[in-house]
Amino acid sequence: MSHPEEQGGSLAGQSRHPAFSRLLGDLRRNPLTLAGALIVAALALVAVVGPVVLTTDPTAQDLPNRLQPPSAAHPLGTDQLGRDVLTRLVYGARLSLGIALAVTAIRVVVGTTVGVVAGYAGGWVDEALMRLVDVQLAFPGLVLALVVAGILGPSLRNVMLALAVVGWATYARVVRATVLSVSEREYVDAARLFGTPPRRIARRHLLPAVLNPVLVLATLNLGTVVLATAGLSFIGLGAQPPTPEWGTMLAGGRDYLRSAWWLVNAPGLAIVLTVLGFNLLGDGLRDALDPHQQSRLEEV
């Protein structure tokens, strides 16, 4: 068994990124992970290229053509204001993925910083930071996000802020635990004994150990953020009409459940597919990168 992070940088060349090539191998062997990766890649493509191809304004109303069932002209039908549902879904993909990336990035940066500081500093700093984490995790995540977003005022920006605020604590816990367990390992002790500078130990031993669970957690988090954003927008706290956001679109379709079934089902299906993609990919990454399953903690 070779542990790439334990080998020095002298092993250049082919085995430069053994973890990465092993990961690719794992991805190829596991069809579900591959499916997840493909879904995510396709979504990313739609989010980036879609709005360039579909140049119709997703908010442009066309009242004579309202509530049209799916047809060649409108593959997913039109909504109560005659807007093309497919176009709105595509613009919504850009919105959902953008928000998920932004929120997850903030969570990762804040949570990792707090976790590293707590793990390294120890003592009262550690104690104080971890109690702060406890307090944050003491609230049911979505409920707290809902209240924070609502008090800040309904808008997509405030939903992002609220979701970032309530989601960093899990990272802090995982990263702190990893820092503590890695610095107790024998090979780190050995490195220290040989006079390896702390900065080098951090880069060579700590970073890879922290990176893996964080990457897994972040991938799964992208899915939960998409779900939470849609949920808060559905309630009315996030994107406001006419923004083509999936949760908002779903809420707009609730008066047409009988007459225009596609209005709630098209965005619903888009949400499921997106979240499923991230979950499949995240699970596969966990099996490949984080066999000790440190990232399997509470989910927000």
Partner 1 sequence: MSGRFGSYILYRLATALVVLAGVSVLTFGLIYLTPGDPAETILIQQTDQHPSQAQIDAFRAEHGLDEPIPIQYLEWLSSALRGDLGQSYYSGRDVAALIVQHVPATLELAAASMLVALAIALPTGVLSAVHRGERLDAASQLAALVGVSMPNFWLGYLLIIVFSLHLSLLPVAGSGGLSHLLLPAVALGTGMAAIVTRLVRTSMLEVLDATYVEVARSKGLSERVVIYKHALRNALLPVVTVVGLQFGFVLNGAVVVEIVFQRPGLGMLLVDAVFARDYPVVQGVVLVGAVAFVVTNVLVDLSYRYLDPRIRLGGVPS
Residue with tokens 């980036």: 48
Among the listed residues 114, 227, 239, 288, the single contact to partner 1 using CB under 8 A:
227
Binding mask 166-205 for partner 1 (x = CB under 8 A): --------------x-------------------------
Q: Which stretch binds partner 1 (CB under 8 A): 40-48, 57-65, 204-212, 270-278?
A: 270-278
- Stretches 40-48, 91-99, 199-207, 247-255: which one binds partner 1 (CB under 8 A)? 247-255
Smallest Cα–Cα separation from 58: which of 79, 78, 84, 77? Answer: 84
| Least distance CB 272 / partner 1 (angstroms) | 5
Residues 188/201, Cβ–Cβ less than 8 Å: yes
Tracing tokens 């459940």 back to the chain, one arrives at: 257
Residue 271 to residue 240: CA distance in whole angstroms: 18
Closest C-alpha to 252, from 237, 229, 234 = 234
Which residue number, 63 or 273, has a Cβ lying nearer to partner 1?
Answer: 273
**Separation between Cα atoms, residue 159 and residue 281, nearest integer Å:** 25
Torsions phi, psi of 78, nearest 5?
A: -125, 160
Binding part of the chain for partner 1, among 10-18, 20-28, 101-109, 234-242 by CB under 8 A, reads 234-242
Q: Which is nearer to partner 1, 108 or 144 (CB)?
A: 144
Q: Which of 1, 12, 151, 193 binds partner 1 (CB under 8 A)?
A: 151
CA–CA separation, 152 and 238 (whole Å): 11
261 is a site residue for partner 1 (CB under 8 A): yes
| C-beta of residue 250 within 8 angstroms of C-beta of residue 264 | yes
In the complex, minimum distance from the CB of residue 233 to partner 1, in angstroms, rounded to a whole number? 10
The one among 47, 209, 230, 288 contacting partner 1 by CB under 8 A: 230
- Tell the smallest beta-carbon distance from residue 277 to partner 1 (Å): 8
Residues 105, 110, 113, 115, Cα dihedral to 10°: -110
- By CB under 8 A, is residue 275 in contact with partner 1? yes
Pick from 32, 41, 109, 125: which binds partner 1 (CB under 8 A)?
Answer: 32
Q: What is the DSSP string of 104-136?
A: HHHHHHHHHHHHHHHHHH-HHHHHHHHHHHHHH
Alpha helix stretches (DSSP H) within 56-122: 85-121
Q: Which residues bind partner 1 (CB under 8 A)?
A: 32, 131-132, 134-135, 138-144, 146-148, 150-154, 180, 223, 227, 230-231, 234-237, 247, 250, 253-254, 257-258, 261, 264-265, 267-268, 271-272, 275-276, 279-280, 283
